[in-house]
């Protein structure tokens, strides 16, 4: 329990009132795991989205952006894994629009109230006969407790499902905010960096939801990296059913701060879960930068350190090589005072005022062998700070990606 919100153990994307979800196997994956899923709302929900900045954007992103742009609402979000439907030309675009139409018909909702997204191998056309059969079966697979089936349907190389839920008091009523995500590889901080889905039963406009989602994305999903690659399919979508009451949420609402804090927790939880589940990863790495002159500088330096292959490799090998950290700080693209930098690994000081500090190598070795490593960088130039998350770089990452398609 926090002062502003409470974590709901076992909660999922269908915990907020008005939402159902489900998943099934339709044959897009070679395994028998679910590969088609959907989130459905009882009413058209206020919706918001953020999308990859990769110039090669998968066809489903165009469809979802177009749907939300009609009237700022969604009632269903259809997802497939095993095939990204990216770089598939006009046929891929037609297939994405057909998926939207199939879901609208199957669930009896307006065409423009359906969003679509895909994840998997790039450059292969969807086997639409399998998709058609799968979508036709989804109404029978959707349930009020279908969160876990949906989460399984969105996984690719992920090892674990990623889901969380919080409860917030708004106008004296219980409001729920829940999230689910997938992401393990092709993860880099550049707007969304994975597939994410956030549901809430709060009453909030699409414009307010978009503002909040964009703000939260900047400090959570945009602050993670696994391998420095930004996917063609990255997307985060939020849906608010408005069915719980408590009054419409705006910045002027007395409980808005609590709602925003809960929403931010969901985003951060999912972002860290993605970083921890990076392909081949053995540990979660957190980089904290303090004392920067600007927020942009703090974020850029944190992301540069967390994205450094040398820093990631050193963490994997439990090597307290702080030289790799200071080198990343110096190439982040923002001015630093080269005489005032401090670096810590956990509570082990390795650099103070840009000068080496003698430290216990054995203690550092034991710390870096753990599954959670914190790196602290203090610049002593200003008051801005930022945090980024990532994982170590391992032999297993190369093995997984050397044969991803075959």
- The catalytic residues are 193
- Measured from the Cβ of residue 398, the count of other Cβ atoms closer than 10 Å reads 11
Output the 3-class SS for 61-122.
HHHHHHHHHHHCEEEEEEEEEEECCCCCHHHHHHHHHHHHHHHHHHHCCCHHHEEEEEEEEC
Q: Are 162 and 181 in contact (CB under 8 A)?
A: yes
- Measured from the Cβ of residue 296, the count of other Cβ atoms closer than 10 Å reads 13
Q: Give CA angle at 30 (85, 22), nearest 5°.
A: 70
- Measured from the Cβ of residue 180, the count of other Cβ atoms closer than 10 Å reads 29
Q: In what order do the strands lie in the sheet with 284-292?
A: 355-356, 348-352, 342-345, 372-378, 284-292, 384-391
> What is the C-alpha separation between 252 and 256, in angstroms, rounded?
7
The set of residues, in sequence order, having a beta carbon less than 8 Å from that of 48 and lying 6+ positions away, is: 68, 72, 206, 209, 210, 212, 213, 214, 237, 238
Place of tokens 């900047």: 218
> What is the C-alpha separation between 18 and 10, in angstroms, rounded?
18
Largest pairwise CA distance in the chain = 68
Secondary structure tally for the chain: helices H, strands E: 11, 15
To the nearest 10 degrees (0 to 180), the angle between helices 128-141 and 89-107 is 20
Place of tokens 């032999």: 395
């Amino acid at each position: 329990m926090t002062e502003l919100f409470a974590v709901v153990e076992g909660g999922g994307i269908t915990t907020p009132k008005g939402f159902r979800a489900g998943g099934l196997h339709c044959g897009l994956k070679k395994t028998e795991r679910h590969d088609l899923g959907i989130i459905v709302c009882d009413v058209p929900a206020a919706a918001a989205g953020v999308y990859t900045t990769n110039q090669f954007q998968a066809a489903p992103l165009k469809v979802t952006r177009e749907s939300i742009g009609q009237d700022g609402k969604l009632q269903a979000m259809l997802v497939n894994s095993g095939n990204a439907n990216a770089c598939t030309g006009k046929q891929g675009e037609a297939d994405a629009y057909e998926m939207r139409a199939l879901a609208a018909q199957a669930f009896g909702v307006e065409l423009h109230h359906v969003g679509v997204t895909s994840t998997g191998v790039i450059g292969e056309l969807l086997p639409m006969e399998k998709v058609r059969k799968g979508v036709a079966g989804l109404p029978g697979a959707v349930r009020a407790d279908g969160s876990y089936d949906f989460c399984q349907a969105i996984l690719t190389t992920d090892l674990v499902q990623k889901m969380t839920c919080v409860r917030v008091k708004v106008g004296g009523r219980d409001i729920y905010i829940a999230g689910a995500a997938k992401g393990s590889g092709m993860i880099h901080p550049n707007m969304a960096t994975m597939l994410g889905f956030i549901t809430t039963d709060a009453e909030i406009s699409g414009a307010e939801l978009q503002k909040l989602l964009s703000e939260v994305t900047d400090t959570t999903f945009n602050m993670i990296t696994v391998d420095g690659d930004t996917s063609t399919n990255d997307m985060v979508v939020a849906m608010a059913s408005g069915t719980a009451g408590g009054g419409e949420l705006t910045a002027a609402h007395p409980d808005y701060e609590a709602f925003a804090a809960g929403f931010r927790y969901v985003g951060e939880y999912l972002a860290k879960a993605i970083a921890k589940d990076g392909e081949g990863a053995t540990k979660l790495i957190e980089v904290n930068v303090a004392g920067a002159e600007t927020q942009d500088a703090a974020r850029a330096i944190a992301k540069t350190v967390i994205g450094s292959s040398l820093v990631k490799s050193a963490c994997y090998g439990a090597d307290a090589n702080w030289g790799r950290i200071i080198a990343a700080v110096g190439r982040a693209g923002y001015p630093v005072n080269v005489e005032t930098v401090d670096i810590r690994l956990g509570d082990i000081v390795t650099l103070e005022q840009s000068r080496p500090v003698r430290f216990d190598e054995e203690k550092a070795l034991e710390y870096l062998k753990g599954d959670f490593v914190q790196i602290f960088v203090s610049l002593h130039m200003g008051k801005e700070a930022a945090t980024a998350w990532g994982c170590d770089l391992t032999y297993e990452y190369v093995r997984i990606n050397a044969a991803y398609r075959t």
